[in-house]
Structure 1
């Protein structure tokens, strides 16, 4: 039931908020948002984190726009902190809902059936910290899917939560920094260049961190061969 509600909310939200969670909407309402932040900074901060959490938890469109808004409204810091908190809390809610709704049954059926999928599931459990961290550092897997795979594989909450919060920091920092420079982009009447994350100065360190997170798996494999 919790997972079904999330899917239903995602379907409704994709239609209802398709014109609100956009870059054009942010540009149109930027003065009002800045005025509210200046007048009610604490409520603006709490409201932003709550809104970001809801966007991720309900799989609404606009998470990237929300990240840019965090940088635009609050700067690189605490904007990055707010973005990470919102994304992590939303991801944990999706993970928990999937675990309660379907995760336990799916995990048990995979284990009982055996075969390649069961071996993959067991490998994920054995190397859960490294695999989960790599999934977040190099976001090849869509964020929503990356919240579901661990739930269906029987991963515990603590490794999921920690690796999510740590793994999304580099990407959040990049997009928050882009958002922090939106005032100049708005003044020129342009849209931000989000392809920056695929440039060598950004992608290189991310891949390096991913390789570093994979090191424990490599060491385990070498030890098994020696044994």
Structure 2
């Protein structure tokens, strides 16, 4: 039923919403239903005011589980996902990703990476943010893996800000290689202030700076007392 709703939204809004913002916001609602209907799942989003409604930005987040997808839709701001191409073949959810014109990627495939970067540049030129997981894959133990260069090279080339996002609590929803969603979850999304890339001219320096910000903020959030 939700996918049929997505088709209706797509058909009605496409003529006047060339960037698919309305369909994306509908998809945000679709993903958030899991939290709305489950009293044992809790999501807190802080710093949403740092996200643009209009204008280019590269959003980067740590990646702990498939639950990250659900909570990041809770940002309720326009953006295009960069996601594994295999996800686009999933029934219903993958079809909705195609309707949203999210950006597919085959990890480790150079032509696919080049195509992904070009598509991302086009969306940024149209004032639509891109969201990427710079670790490239989910962390198995919750510790941040090394960041890849793509998101940071993109931000430097397009001269747009990078917005770091920190997730906690999502690893317990559906851990890597896990098949069963946990019955309870307390997830937190912290959007950090944008990083102005004008002070950087080296991808590696920018990459490491943003990773250090995310590591420090994640440690701070995990040290806070658990909320009921």
What is the TM-score normalised by the length of structure 2? Answer: 0.26
Larger radius of gyration: 1
Structure with more of its chain in helix, by fraction: 1
What is the TM-score normalised by the length of structure 1? Answer: 0.26
